[in-house]
Amino acid sequence: MSNNKQTDAPQFVADLSGGNFAQQLGIAISEVAQGVVANGKKGQVKVTIDISRIGESNQVNISHTLAYVEPTAKGKRSEDTTSETPMYLNNDGSVTIFANHTSQLFKEYEKS
């Protein structure tokens, strides 16, 4: 492992699809848990994150898929959704929705 700063995982998830992914994840967990308790069968929530580089920049495209299987009385109900969010790989190794160097722009402006 490197000495780079790690990505703030809760903030990373909150930034995916402008917060929609985190909301969908919460709904999926609740629906699957309710189906498990009501029907006594195993359920599943699966998150897949694929990362690809955007051009020759420090930007990366985060493709995120949420898939779940909710047990029902006579079988199961499943749903999946995939979306993409562009993010930045910062010099410190963290991945964020905004590049870290942009915060300096606002600090310099506030001093003026």
Taking only the tens place, the pLDDT of each residue in 25-56 is: 999 999 999 999 999 999 999 999 999 999 99
**Cβ-contact 81, 24 below 8 angstroms:** yes
Residue 3 resides in a domain: no
Q: Domain limits at 63?
A: 9-111
As averages over each run of 10 residues, the pLDDT of the chain (112 residues) reads 80 96 97 97 98 96 98 96 96 91 58 52
Q: How many domains does the chain have?
A: 1
Q: Are 43 and 36 spatial neighbours (Cβ–Cβ below 8 Å)?
A: yes
Give domain status of residue 24, yes or no: yes
How far is CA 40 from its chain centroid? 29
Among candidate residues 96, 89, 90, 85, the one with its CA nearest the CA of residue 10: 96
Specify if 4 maps to a domain. no
pTM: 0.82
Q: Domain for residue 107, yes or no?
A: yes
pLDDT at 103: 57
The answer to the question of residue 85 being in a domain is: yes
- pLDDT on residue 21: 97
CA distance 66 to 18: 15
What is the structure's pLDDT at 1? 46
Instruction: Tell me if 100 is assigned to some domain.
Output: yes
Residue 2 counted as domain residue: no
CATH code for the domain in which residue 42 is found: 3.30.565
